[in-house]
Amino acid sequence: MADDLVELAIHEPNASLARHNLCFIGLLAFFEAFAKDQLGSILSLSPTAIDRLRVAGYRTEITAREALNLRDEIEHQIGFLISHRLDLGTAKAINAAFTLAIKVTPFAKKEVEIYDKMLRDRNLIIHHGATYTTAYLEQAFDEIDPKQRVAHAYAIRLSGSDVEKAASFLKQVAHDLIDASAKSLSRSATADGSIADESRRKAIEFTNVWGEEAAKIDAELDRQIAEFERAATRSGGDVKE
């Protein structure tokens, strides 16, 4: 998805400033969704991680209705129910949740600063149409052309290159988080003996799939599902006859 947004921002003919801004917003939105999904996978695979969040004061309970709706799938989905309720809107919040859950810190100190600046710019675009406010000028004073340090007169002008740099940064953070999460989960499962369960072992290995390899696996799963559906349709036809 990040590559698609970069394509729109850079390689599409006549890419406008508005498109650059929208692609930038999209990158951050997808990254936050990724963080929640990654944490959801971890919590589903490691019940002790849920306990650590609960003890630290995070909301980890689910409703009876949710449990009833999921039925047999609850073991695989419970982590997502929990993670998608959490506020992972900042680097600090993401670091806190992952550090508690599996002792992994997604953002280093310098990366926290970069991500915070990206969020700052995104918020200005969303809430003020990218136009400088007095608060933004105070926060980004040294980054702004001295001639444009006037509130409500100038605006952020993101380029296609800015979008590409943002995508590269977020992809690297995501890749490092995926790798560190898989290693931490593997160590935890080895320690508690659950790694002996083949399905759990494979699930943990799958959390470290990235890029083209993940696309191939998705394609194969889609093929198997389609084949299953065709077989079910044929079986249904035979029964009717």
List, run by run, the mean pLDDT of 10-residue segments along the chain (241 residues): 67 70 92 94 89 92 80 79 92 96 94 96 95 94 92 90 92 92 86 71 71 61 70 58 37
Rounded distance, CA 49 to CA 39, Å? 10
pLDDT in tens, 38-82: 999 999 888 889 999 999 999 988 887 877 787 777 777 888 989
Burial of residue 28 (CB within 10 Å: 0-12, 13-18, 19+) is: buried
Domain boundaries, the chain: 2-210, 211-241
pLDDT given at position 238: 45
pLDDT in tens, 156-172: 989 888 999 999 999 99
Q: Which amino acid is at 61?
A: E
Adjacent-strand bridge partners of 155: 131
pLDDT given at position 240: 40
Rounded distance, CA 38 to CA 48, Å? 16
